[in-house]
Amino acid sequence: MQTGAGRVTAKLAAGDALIFVDVQNDFLPGGSLAVPAGNEIIPILNRYIALFHAYGLAIFATRDWHPPDHCSFIEQGGRWPPHCIEASPGAAFPASLEFPCDIHIISKATTREKDAYSGFADTPLNALLRSSGIGRVFIGGLATEYCVLNTVKDALQLGYETFILTDAVRAINSSSDDGLHALEEMEHLGAVPIHFEAISA
């Protein structure tokens, strides 16, 4: 990693992995818990996927995979409308997201009683990263101030050098600056903000 005049660049190498968080139909415009402009990140993520895949680097996709009566749903006393119910169209990844055949899919929040914002929470993600010799992770997805933020926080706590893909995240922004504050928090905790043009292979 190099810095200069406030600019961060990164050269991809063995031990790097791409993680994109919860890019699912229910979180896209028209979905039951839509992130405004969430669809804008799909062509950008496709560029990241193609780059990492071309160099044989690991790619992970997390997804909410809720039972129909999940505790996060309003009907069960939670804060969210029903979304990403396992095996439903809303839980599917959008057809426009260009998956390689060897992508690792990580399902989270799969039990009724437990919610999970982080891709590491009660999932095999950390074990898979460790067994693959991953030391650096590049994270994007939805939504910036919820599942992306918590996945980044856990990655840092677990000791991964962590980059946040600022061009490949979008926020719900219940308050207008929620996404910005989340990015600032991630950087304060040690994540490195970066965008596609600053990554080379």
Are 164 and 186 within 8 A, CB to CB? yes
Measured CA distances, 144 to 114, 150, 152 (Å) = 21, 9, 10
Are 10 and 200 within 8 A, CB to CB? yes
Catalytic residue among 16, 26, 147, 154: 147
Are 120 and 155 within 8 A, CB to CB? yes
Angle between helices 149-157 and 178-189 (to 10 degrees): 10
Catalytic residue among 26, 84, 108, 115: 108
Pairing mode, strands 58-64 and 199-200: unpaired
DSSP state letter for 107: E
Catalytic residue among 16, 22, 26, 115: 22
Q: E strand or H helix at 8, and its extent?
A: strand 7-11
The reply to whether 108 belongs to the active site is yes
The reply to whether 147 belongs to the active site is yes
Beta bridge partners of 36: none
The reply to whether 153 belongs to the active site is no
For residue 54, how far is the Cα from the chain centroid? Answer: 20
Phi, psi of 169 (to 5 degrees): -135, 150
Give start and end residues of each alpha helix (H) in the chain: 41-54, 125-131, 149-157, 178-189
Q: Which residues carry out catalysis? A: 22, 108, 147
